[in-house]
Amino acid sequence: MIKILVTGGTGYIGSHTVVALQEKGYKVIIADNLSNSNADTIHAIAKITGVKPELEVVDLSCKTACDDLFSRHSDLKAVIHFAAAKAVGESVLQPLFYYENNLCALLNVLQNMARIGCGNIVFSSSCTVYGQPKELPVQETSPRLPATCPYGNTKQIAEDILRDVAKASLLGASPLALSVLALRYFNPIGAHSSALIGELPNGVPNNLMPYITQTAAGLRSCLQVYGNDYNTSDGTPIRDYIHVSDLAEAHLCAMEYLLSGKVKGIDYINLGTGKGYTVLEVIQSFEKMSGIKLNYKIVARREGDIEKIWGNVDKARQILNWQAKREIDEMTLSAWKWQQYISTGLLGK
């Protein structure tokens, strides 16, 4: 059985990807420090797939801990690397933490991949590497503009690290031939159709969808919309929202493409729907699908946010034979069903 390491695998996107992998028969090892996730997620994954993944609670930014993990799992065939802090606003306030956490973890993982001879890595990148693009939709060949926040900058630096390591291996400077797919995805929302896993941030949410669902559930008194003076149809920012299950399936396709041996060095692929929605349009979709009128207010713009972005996703369709299938209403409804499940108190039971 092919063994795959998923770092950050109890997190939002990671858990959905673990489900996709296990449903295809892969053996999954999860490495997660549980800083923004819950160990009970593995029980939910087991309910969905019939297989309980192996969880290693480990901080990958600690070299000793990462070394020990790879020594215990020296037969890995690929790594899908999600583990990173990812809140735009928080990164502006805590840049040193973001640079240490996100980049040290990647360096430790890559050094250990070389040590055990595992040459395939799917990297969780982000559309934030494009900054505020001058032309839309952005393509993989679009210039990477200066990042608008430290989080985005860690993704740019991580891509540069992966590019340089892959190039060195192609030049024969390393005994390991490193193959990399950097997946630049847009804004994941929604939850698994079972409603057993979804986005469950610790503390106050930094992303739009859990803030919406928590407000609807009465856990938050009011939803804050950051700015309505952008150059968009209703003044609120535009994002390319993608259902998390579509995104998980794309990671499965990317890993299998790597294992086929078709990637030499590094390649970059956008993952999104190819169209954008404003914040208010997402709120309107949620209100329509849930039947709940949200209490929200417009507040000042948030430092680090960009005005609008959506992607050209032709390359994913051509290379990975993948495209997003789920529309915005399905995304918002599934997120609400997940929130309702959380409210039952059955999570992890």
| pLDDT, position 40 | 93
Active site residues: 151
For residues 175 and 57, which has the higher predicted lDDT (pLDDT)?
Answer: 57
| pLDDT, position 103 | 98
CA–CA distance, 301 with 307 (Å, rounded to integer): 10
343 has a pLDDT exceeding 90: no
Residue 229 to residues 82, 112, 247, 309, Cα–Cα distance (Å):
33, 47, 30, 16
CA–CA distance, 51 with 43 (Å, rounded to integer): 9
CA–CA distance, 308 with 278 (Å, rounded to integer): 8
Mean pLDDT of the chain: 94
| pLDDT, position 89 | 83
| pLDDT, position 119 | 95
| pLDDT, position 171 | 86
62 has a pLDDT exceeding 80: yes
In this prediction, residue 346 has a pLDDT band, given cuts at 50, 70 and 90, of low
In sign, the C-alpha dihedral spanning 137, 140, 144, 147 is positive
348 has a pLDDT exceeding 60: no
199 has a pLDDT exceeding 80: yes
